[in-house]
Structure 1
Amino acid sequence: MEYPENAKRLGIVGRIYVQFVVDKEGDITEVKVLKGIGAACDSVAAKVVRNAPNWKPGKHEGKVVKVRMVLPIVFSLHGVPDKKVYIGIKPADWEKFTVLHKKPILKKGMPQLTTYLNENFNYPEAALKDSIQGAVSVRFTVSEEGKVSHITPLTEKGYGCEEELVRLVENMPEWKPGKDYSGYKIDTDLILTVYFRLEEQDLTL
């Protein structure tokens, strides 16, 4: 499976859920991405499923039947390029996210998030001392006024990493709120993942 170059550059990782049907002949049909991570990874995952070898068809009470299945496909970066901070951002509630017509974005565009993090990120001293690296995630809400609230760490990396990410989110620039299909502004929960790396180099989106 080829990792999309844009996803590598952005440090996008995560688990994609692909639904498909194994028909009575064992062929794979009706491939659909239920939950994705974007950056061309979703289409790559769907392609992997479509091109998979035939399956042994399912049976029910001795009769061959079609079976609907869901396959998780994990995108994980190992030996990534030298960069200090890698960013991944995704909706926290996929059911609510489907009603969105416009996603929340920073007022000056999402590249502003990269600039802000690289300019304000401070590697925790305890993490530096013990060479701690890896993914740290927080969940937060972008309100209908574009304000950030309800910041909750989702990981337990320790060494001050969660505290640093919470600090960064608390001081983020203002957002443009998400809108539903009727054009109304709505609260949106997001998950921000930052990949702590010890090498220093600017990151661009």
Structure 2
Amino acid sequence: MTTRTSRDAGLTPAALQQQLLANGDAPRLLDVRTPGEFRTSHIPGAHNVPLSTLREHVAELRTHLDGGVVLVCRSGTRAARAEETLAEAGLADLRVLDGGMLAWEAAGAPVERGEARWDLERQVRLVAGSVVLVTGVAGLFLPGVHLIGTTIGAGLTFAALSNTCAMGMLLSKLPYNRGPRTDVRTVIASLRGRS
């Protein structure tokens, strides 16, 4: 089975706004960011189904996603992974919001806001930069400690080349980022309510 790439199935913020404002069948919005990110800001009417939860419950969710689905994350990367997962489960009519919430907010589109939090990318930069700085300084006094910073640099290079981030995945599991756990039954009841 060939899956579409997010580039083929993308949807611009302007096009999505137009669909949401039109009378008729608006697409379902699945925001695959962490609950903490979702609580900070999200598109009105979006359902929060973090990527890990979506993967765990894909068969269960699939039966309630019968129409057009737009997948949303911070920049589009996690939404593209969610698209692949749902396409492999047999869903069609999947779209990824081009540029994610960054593009949505830059377009001046409506956003529901909650408590402000640092997004994962900023947290990764803080942790990686701090480790490199501390081990670089410590390396002046303790030979070999600077190699820890070199390892972090290698990990960031791999993250860029593979479009994955182990540090981001680890940070997303912290209580600060998790927020309240997404209850799949509540999401499914909400999806059923739209039918």
Query: Which TM-score band applies after superposition, normalised by the shorter structure?
Result: under 0.3
Greater fraction of residues in helix: 2
Greater fraction of residues in strand: 1
TM-score under structure 2 normalisation? 0.25
Task: Please tell me whether Structure 1 or Structure 2 has the larger radius of gyration of its CA atoms.
Answer: 1
